Amino acid sequence: MNKHSSITIGITTAVIFLIIYNISAFAFQCNEIRANTIRLHVIANSDSDEDQNIKLKVRDALLDAGSNIFDGTVTPANAQKKIANEINNLENTANRVLQKYNKNYHATVTLTTEYFDTRIYDDNITLPAGKYLALKVVLGEGNGKNWWCVMFPSLCLPATEKTNNNSLKNTYTDSEKYIIENQNKYEIHFKIIEIIEIIKNKVDIQH
């Protein structure tokens, strides 16, 4: 092997190492973002206009009835305890909406871990793909399009639909906050993480 070939191999190896290191560091920060985030996920009975409209009415009723848990006081650390006390109330609220509009199906509300694709919110907040703790609301068969938002940090309430800088600052580190607010800079990184998380999720499902 000549000197030129050795240099080329050395440079290539160094570049590959830097790419792997960079993606690994990004993946670690994504794990931290997921660990410090709680999602709200409402799934409609079907994609009919009526069921989709009902989904939004249920959403609004839940945000109103559960305003005390959508105000940023529920964190990943205390979610299990605090939300558990509200599950029945939220489920009853959802079912009252369904009864009001004479729907012949019911709502089920659970606190669970769910896989989400990469999501870009209107206020330019990007959450990486992967599994998150989520308050999941299934209406009837749950075969319709879904609606979701971020419970923690608090971005669900109307007053906080736009970026709440204090909420984000108090939830994520500066580097994590920079990632979720600069999707264009990390577009390739987000795509790589999504591919990895899709594969991991499929493996988990199979097992």
pLDDT in tens, 11-28: 555 555 556 656 888 999
What the block records as the tokens of 140 is 């009837």
Domain boundaries, the chain: 30-206
pLDDT in tens, 105-161: 999 999 999 999 999 886 678 999 999 999 999 999 999 999 988 888 877 765 444
What integer pLDDT is reported at residue 5 of this predicted model? 62
Write down the pTM of the prediction: 0.82
Half-sphere exposure of 59 (CA within 13 A, CB side): 20
pLDDT classification of 162: cutoffs 50, 70, 90: very low
What is the crossing angle of helices 49-65 and 87-100, to 10°?
140
